[in-house]
Structure 1
Amino acid sequence: MAWRVRHRSRTICLSLVFITIFIHLLLAFVSLSIPRLPCDSPLPPGMRAFRDLARFNYTSDGIKRLAEPPTGILEGDARGHRDTVIDKELPARGGMTAGIRQHGANQTERLESDLLKLKALFDHPLYNIPTPSIPEDDWLLKVKPKAKESERSSLMWVSASQEGYDEVQWNSSRESHPPWLRFHLGITRWELYPQHDPNMELLTQQIATQRIVSAVQKSGGTQLKLVMSFPNYGQALFKPMKQEREEETNYNLYYFSDFERHNAEIAAFHLDRILGYRRVPPAVGRLVDVVKEIKDITTDRKLAKTFFTSPVGNVCFYGQCSYYCSTEHAVCGRPLNLEASLAVMLPDLSLAPRRSWRSPWRRSYSRSKLAKWETEPNYCSTIKKTAPYNKGTRLVDFMDMVILDFLMSNMDRHHYETFEKFGNSTSLLHLDNGRAFGRHSKDEPSILVPLQQCCRIRRSTWLRLRLLTLPQYHISDVMRASLSTDPLHKVAPLLTEPHLAALSRRLKTVLDTVSLCQKQQKEAGRESVFYDDLDSLEK
Structure 2
Amino acid sequence: TGWIAGWLSFCLSVRLLASYVSVTFLFVSFMPVNLSSHKLPSRMNGDFTNMAVHIDHKVEASFNMVNEKEKDKNLIGTKMATKVSQQVSSRSKLEALFSHPLYNLPRPHLLEDDWLLKLKPKQSDSEEDAYDRANWTRSAETHPAWLRYHLGISRWELYDRKDPSVAEVTQQMATQRILSAVQKSGGTQLKLIMSFPNYGQALLKPMRQERDAETDFNLFYFSDFERHNAEIAAFHLDRVLGFCRIPPVVGRLINVTTEIRAITTDHKLSRTFFTSPVGNLCFHGQCEYYCSTENPVCGRPQVLEVSLASMLPDLSLAPRRSWRSPWRRSYSRTKLAPWEKNPDYCDTVKQTPPYSQGTRLVDLIDMVILDFLMSNMDRHHYETFEKFGNDTFLLHLDNGRAFGRHSVDEPSILVPLRQCCRIRRSTLMRLRLLSLPGFRLSDVMRESLSQDPLESVAPLLSVQHLAVLDRRLKTILQAVHTCLEHHDDVIHDDLQGYDVNLYRH
How far is the alpha carbon of 1:57 from its aligned partner? 10
State the match for 1:126 in structure 2.
Answer: 102
Does structure 1 conserve the Cα–Cα contact (< 8 Å) formed by 2:283 and 2:297?
yes
- Which residue, out of 220, 225, 241, partners 2:191? 225
Deviations 1:301-341 (A, max 9, x none): 00000000011111000000000000111010001110000
Partners of 2:91 and 2:158 in 1: CA distance? 24
- Which residue, out of 430, 433, 440, partners 2:396? 430
DSSP-derived class of the 2:414 partner: helix
State the match for 1:53 in structure 2.
Answer: none
State the match for 1:531 in structure 2.
Answer: 492
Bigger proportion of residues as helix: 1
- Which residue, out of 345, 357, 362, partners 2:323? 357
- Which residue, out of 411, 421, 432, partners 2:387? 421
Partners of 1:117 and 1:140 in 2: CA distance? 33
State the match for 1:462 in structure 2.
Answer: 428
How far is the alpha carbon of 1:393 from its aligned partner? 0.3
Amino acid at match of 1:376: N
State the match for 2:24 in structure 1.
Answer: none
How far is the alpha carbon of 1:198 from its aligned partner? 1.4
Root mean square deviation of aligned Cα: 1.8
Q: Does 1:294 align with 2:260?
A: yes
Partners of 2:451 and 2:232 in 1: CA distance? 11
Does structure 1 conserve the Cα–Cα contact (< 8 Å) formed by 2:158 and 2:245?
yes
Unaligned runs of 5+ in 1: 1-55, 64-111, 148-153, 522-526
Deviations 1:19-77 (A, max 9, x none): xxxxxxxxxxxxxxxxxxxxxxxxxxxxxxxxxxxxx9999x989xxxxxxxxxxxxxx
Q: Does 1:393 align with 2:359?
A: yes
- The alignment covers a number of residue pairs equal to 420
Partners of 2:437 and 2:37 in 1: CA distance? 36
Deviations 1:2-29 (A, max 9, x none): xxxxxxxxxxxxxxxxxxxxxxxxxxxx
Partners of 2:338 and 2:373 in 1: CA distance? 24
Amino acid at match of 1:479: M
- Structure 1 residues 400 and 357: alpha-carbon distance in aligned structure 2, compared to 1, 3 A threshold: same
Alignment of 1:200-279 (within 5 A): 200-279=166-245
Alignment of 1:171-210 (within 5 A): 171-210=137-176
DSSP-derived class of the 1:340 partner: strand
Q: Does 1:451 align with 2:423?
A: no
Does structure 2 conserve the Cα–Cα contact (< 8 Å) formed by 1:308 and 1:316?
yes
Partners of 2:91 and 2:351 in 1: CA distance? 44
Amino acid at match of 2:474: K
- Structure 1 residues 231 and 529: alpha-carbon distance in aligned structure 2, compared to 1, 3 A threshold: same
- Which residue, out of 377, 381, 388, partners 2:343? 377
DSSP-derived class of the 2:498 partner: helix
- Which residue, out of 477, 485, 489, partners 1:519? 485
Q: Does 1:471 align with 2:437?
A: yes
Partners of 2:322 and 2:209 in 1: CA distance? 29
Amino acid at match of 1:528: D
Deviations 1:336-357 (A, max 9, x none): 1100000000000000000000
Amino acid at match of 2:235: F
- Which residue, out of 123, 130, 143, partners 1:155? 123
Amino acid at match of 1:532: D
Partners of 2:291 and 2:280 in 1: CA distance? 17
How far is the alpha carbon of 1:114 from its aligned partner? 6.0
Partners of 1:509 and 1:58 in 2: CA distance? 37
DSSP-derived class of the 1:402 partner: helix
Q: Following TM superposition, where does structure 1 have runs of at least 4 consecutive aligned residues deviating by more than 6 angstroms?
A: 56-59
Partners of 1:171 and 1:220 in 2: CA distance? 35
Partners of 2:109 and 2:357 in 1: CA distance? 24
Does structure 1 conserve the Cα–Cα contact (< 8 Å) formed by 2:37 and 2:453?
no
DSSP-derived class of the 2:426 partner: helix
Amino acid at match of 1:420: E
Does structure 2 conserve the Cα–Cα contact (< 8 Å) formed by 1:127 and 1:195?
no
How far is the alpha carbon of 1:260 from its aligned partner? 0.3
Amino acid at match of 1:131: R
Partners of 1:444 and 1:504 in 2: CA distance? 15
DSSP-derived class of the 2:306 partner: strand
Amino acid at match of 1:264: A
DSSP-derived class of the 2:351 partner: coil
Of structures 1 and 2, the one with the larger relative CO (CA 8 A, separation 6+) is 2
How far is the alpha carbon of 1:132 from its aligned partner? 3.5
Does structure 1 conserve the Cα–Cα contact (< 8 Å) formed by 2:368 and 2:416?
yes
Which has the larger Rg?
1
TM-score by length of 2: 0.81
Deviations 1:396-448 (A, max 9, x none): 00000000000000000000000000000000000000000000001000000
Does structure 2 conserve the Cα–Cα contact (< 8 Å) formed by 1:128 and 1:195?
no
Alignment of 1:16-95 (within 5 A): none
Partners of 1:487 and 1:370 in 2: CA distance? 42
